[in-house]
Structure 1
Amino acid sequence: MFTWNKIVSSGGRIIFMRVRATKREHQDLLERYPLHQRCYNAFENEWDFFEGFGGEDDAEKEEYAGYMHSDSEDEEIEFSEGLWDEDDPSHEPAFSPASPEPTPTLADELELLPATPEVAPVVEHTWQFSDDIFKRMTLTYGFCPPAGPVPAVPPLQAWDQVKGILGFMPETQLPWSDNEKRCAAGFIQQLLQGLNGLPASLDDLNDLSPSALTTAFNFSIIQCPLRNLYILDTPQSPSCSWSLGLESAASLLYVCRLLIANSTHTILTVAHHLVKNNIPFRTLLLRQSLNPRRLDKPFAPRSYRRNDHVFDSKDFESAMMEARERLVRPFGRAAFLRGGILGRIAQELGSMEAVLDGPSLEVTEHESGHFFASAHPGSFYWDDELSEDDVACLCGTYRMYTGRGEQTKVVSWFPYPEDWEGSGHDWMVWTERDEWWFKTHLTLIWNPGQQKTRTPMTRQEWRAAVRGVGRSRKVVRMNNERAERYVDAKVPVP
């Protein structure tokens, strides 16, 4: 079920935002809205409630056979389940998973794709990772599965260590042969030791590899107007007018491998894959701008707590309700584009419906957002952006008195993206271990009786909490370095 909220942009323009209602609101909506203010879509099995819908009050007099709302949408695996008592109204979760169903235009393009692991027309997001190790190693690190035995590989026991380094849980199983596991473990161990020495047959960045990227992908289609800004507008999609922007060499190579794996991809389906897997990207719109200005809205605390305040789930619920309100604003789509911890929060609180529509009216009407210089004089690449205040709100931030006069400190329910990025949990792609951490974090918030009750922390405390395993940080760093070297040679900056 969905309601329509009136939103006023920063320039005073009024638009309407479609917002998914929580399950506990369903009965209230049916009782509150008369028949002429409801609209049922039988094809999608969805209700829309809006006071502005047409119709006369006498429509209420018509015979209504009644409609028993289907519980099919309740069959999705909801992250929030099990964290509170369903019958306790005091535990109404602030995190209400939004429908990640693609827009009709995106669904049309996804239907053209074969049923491969790279992109599938997923209707519900269940965050399942156990079959993804092969895909992650191939797309993220350029690992090529061996065609036969490879000499000088480590013992099979090293495979379990490699799973942890790559962000997977120890119990994750994969139907690989022992030789494939040994080769994968050897590939990662060699990557940890240095950028040289990776077996050529297993590395797609090596020109001697049978699966070398240099022969499989046409790098001339990539634009690079600035350092660490890579733009693709092909394969074109008839459903979008924006270009795909990537701000790291590693994410660019990820997309290149994705396009190689499936030739029917378009920019739109690639973007759908990226947002689904929490990988940062941009939807860039080239526009002429006479006087572009950066979005400047510093953190303005609205929530203060005394030094003796004891945080509980009610504080968390209130903070997430405010965060949810930010996400329904036109620029809220920028949280999904950010990926990482911020993208994961957004996927729980908001709807992805507007993410792939491209820059919002905040950009197209008011030139409020983020912009990059282009090769065209007077024109800039624009996209929606979150301000410092928006990021603080999404992370559930407070100012808290320290007990030393007027001195305060900043604490938050979630780590800031700057503290998450580069940590031992930042694998560029949202992993099984990331999801385990996320669920555990919320469990400790919603269950105050436990010894390790989670409360807001300072940024320094968050950096220590998400520091993770040193070898995980190193393998990501080494992979980023080799990606930068490779891309610098293939896509030079003007």
Structure 2
Amino acid sequence: MAETDAQLQDENNVASIRHIFLHVKEGTPLPPALWDLHDSNDSLKEASADTTFRFVYEAKFTPPVYSIIPSDKRHIRSWTLVVPHATTVVQVVRNKWGSSLEDLIGKFVSLGIPFFTLALSPNPPHKLTRPETVFEYLSRPFSFQPNAYTYKTYELRREDFLKHPHARAALLRGGILWRLCKASFEERLGLVNGPSSDVRLFGEAKRFPSSTSDGVTWTAWDDTLTDDEVDLICGVYYVAGGRRKQWKTLSWWPRPNVFDKCSMWTGYWNTSCEFWFQRRLDSIRCGEARPFKTAEWKDALRYSQNKTRLLFNLTEEASASFIGKVLG
């Protein structure tokens, strides 16, 4: 009986999504029954009355972000939880997620939703050189022929890197980096609750003036990844071309800047993302798949990109408007 109910629910969800896409395609307004961000739908407004958080639009950051602050002072931490998307804020309200920042982080991590944990300090950023973590050159000769064994070597190298405390930044990025690193952090999820102990060495500092009259310029810290570290996680190789000083870039998995623009990515790791990931992983381990060039990844992940991005942007704009009108 439960299985039948779940199947009916899935069919209803698919029908609703198709109806939404039809409206997006034709450029007609979405009906209130399918759109809780519609001005005539009060369900989300009613849910906002029960939220246990305050949401602050932080225009001082580039790009702007939203700070999530617990209403209960007992849940205030030495760091601030920040999300880059208005849709995430609305999702917190809609689903009435938790009462503490740790509760929210647990939800974000389970769904691959991007977020940051910023530690504020009145001290200026240091000028120390960031230590190296990627010691193996990612370049390969012209004769390089990757296979399933090459992929296993890449996995071992990736796992070794993820032992660094600041590698938690990959989990916080969401999307493809989150999926590639998720299993490695299952026993260390406490690491995501606030910046790592190495944040001053492996983090990035953003400076901004205080919103009060004290005149203090604050620094916000969180762990970050270098381009080389992102390349290592995604299995990137720089393969020598046929001519001198020519290189082609291959990778087992798409870099975040490519994946985040594909039609599958809607701000969280959905079933379409997981289906694609598992199919790709099985093909690699069977020796049937090879690393792709950047252009090949863009073609492979394009799908119905325009319609999906249009719906994503529409939802983001409506969510931002809702936050400004109701939660601001």
Counterpart CA distance in 2 for 1:203 and 1:294 is 50
* Cα deviations by residue, 1:216-249 (Å, 9 ceiling, x for unpaired): 3479922223252110121556495322100122
Are 2:166 and 1:327 equivalent residues in the alignment?
Answer: no
Residue 222 of structure 1 is matched in structure 2 by: 55
AA of the residue aligned to 1:223: V
* Cα deviations by residue, 1:368-421 (Å, 9 ceiling, x for unpaired): 413344552222222111111110110111110111123112211110001000
Counterpart CA distance in 1 for 2:29 and 2:12 is 19
Are 2:150 and 1:318 equivalent residues in the alignment?
Answer: no
Residue 172 of structure 2 is matched in structure 1 by: 337
Judge conservation of contact 1:250–1:480 (CA < 8 Å) in 2: yes
Instruction: State the shift of 1:300 in Å.
Output: 8.2
The range that moved more, 438-447 or 483-492, is: 483-492
CA radius of gyration, larger in: 1
Aligned match for 1:277, one of 94, 108, 111 = 111
Are 2:194 and 1:358 equivalent residues in the alignment?
Answer: yes
Counterpart CA distance in 2 for 1:421 and 1:254 is 19
TM-score between both structures, scaled by the size of structure 1: 0.57
Residue 249 of structure 1 is matched in structure 2 by: 86
Structure whose residues are more often helix by fraction = 2
Are 2:120 and 1:286 equivalent residues in the alignment?
Answer: yes
**Match runs of 1:93-492 below 5 Å:** 174-176=7-9, 185-194=18-27, 197-213=29-45, 216-217=48-49, 221-226=54-59, 227-236=63-72, 238=75, 240-259=77-96, 264-291=98-125, 302-351=137-186, 352-363=188-199, 366=200, 368-374=202-208, 376=210, 377-448=216-287, 453-470=288-305, 471-489=307-325
Instruction: State the shift of 1:289 in Å.
Output: 2.2
Counterpart CA distance in 2 for 1:335 and 1:478 is 27
Residue 30 of structure 1 is matched in structure 2 by: none
Judge conservation of contact 1:207–1:213 (CA < 8 Å) in 2: no
Judge conservation of contact 1:335–1:346 (CA < 8 Å) in 2: yes
Counterpart CA distance in 2 for 1:380 and 1:401 is 42
Counterpart CA distance in 2 for 1:374 and 1:222 is 19
Judge conservation of contact 1:340–1:421 (CA < 8 Å) in 2: yes
Judge conservation of contact 2:262–2:302 (CA < 8 Å) in 1: yes
Query: Considering only aligned residues, what root-mean-square deviation do their CA atoms show, in Å?
Result: 3.3
AA of the residue aligned to 2:93: C
Counterpart CA distance in 2 for 1:238 and 1:219 is 10
Counterpart CA distance in 2 for 1:408 and 1:447 is 27
Judge conservation of contact 2:142–2:241 (CA < 8 Å) in 1: yes
Instruction: State the shift of 1:357 in Å.
Output: 3.0
**Match runs of 1:58-69 below 5 Å:** none
Judge conservation of contact 1:371–1:381 (CA < 8 Å) in 2: yes
SS of aligned partner of 1:360: coil
SS of aligned partner of 1:333: helix
- Flag the 1:336–1:431 CA change in 2: closer, same or farther, 3 A: same
Instruction: State the shift of 1:179 in Å.
Output: 7.6
Counterpart CA distance in 2 for 1:213 and 1:374 is 32
Counterpart CA distance in 2 for 1:248 and 1:341 is 17
AA of the residue aligned to 1:466: L
Judge conservation of contact 1:224–1:491 (CA < 8 Å) in 2: no
AA of the residue aligned to 1:221: R
- Flag the 1:190–1:294 CA change in 2: closer, same or farther, 3 A: farther
Instruction: State the shift of 1:271 in Å.
Output: 0.8
* Cα deviations by residue, 1:162-181 (Å, 9 ceiling, x for unpaired): xxxxxxxxxx9633398887
Counterpart CA distance in 2 for 1:461 and 1:294 is 39
* Cα deviations by residue, 1:420-457 (Å, 9 ceiling, x for unpaired): 00211212111112111111111111112xxxx21112
Residue 39 of structure 1 is matched in structure 2 by: none
Judge conservation of contact 2:239–2:248 (CA < 8 Å) in 1: yes
Aligned residues: 313
TM-score between both structures, scaled by the size of structure 2: 0.82
Counterpart CA distance in 2 for 1:327 and 1:424 is 28
Judge conservation of contact 2:68–2:82 (CA < 8 Å) in 1: yes
AA of the residue aligned to 1:441: R
Instruction: State the shift of 1:311 in Å.
Output: 0.9
Judge conservation of contact 2:69–2:76 (CA < 8 Å) in 1: no
Judge conservation of contact 2:125–2:219 (CA < 8 Å) in 1: no
SS of aligned partner of 2:189: coil
The range that moved more, 410-419 or 374-383, is: 374-383
- Flag the 1:258–1:388 CA change in 2: closer, same or farther, 3 A: same
Instruction: State the shift of 1:197 in Å.
Output: 1.8
AA of the residue aligned to 2:153: S
Counterpart CA distance in 1 for 2:116 and 2:149 is 35
Judge conservation of contact 2:48–2:93 (CA < 8 Å) in 1: no
**Match runs of 1:86-97 below 5 Å:** none
Judge conservation of contact 2:44–2:93 (CA < 8 Å) in 1: no
Instruction: State the shift of 1:279 in Å.
Output: 0.6
AA of the residue aligned to 1:460: A
Judge conservation of contact 1:240–1:268 (CA < 8 Å) in 2: no
Instruction: State the shift of 1:292 in Å.
Output: 5.5
Counterpart CA distance in 2 for 1:459 and 1:298 is 24
Segments of 5+ residues of structure 2 without an aligned counterpart are 211-215
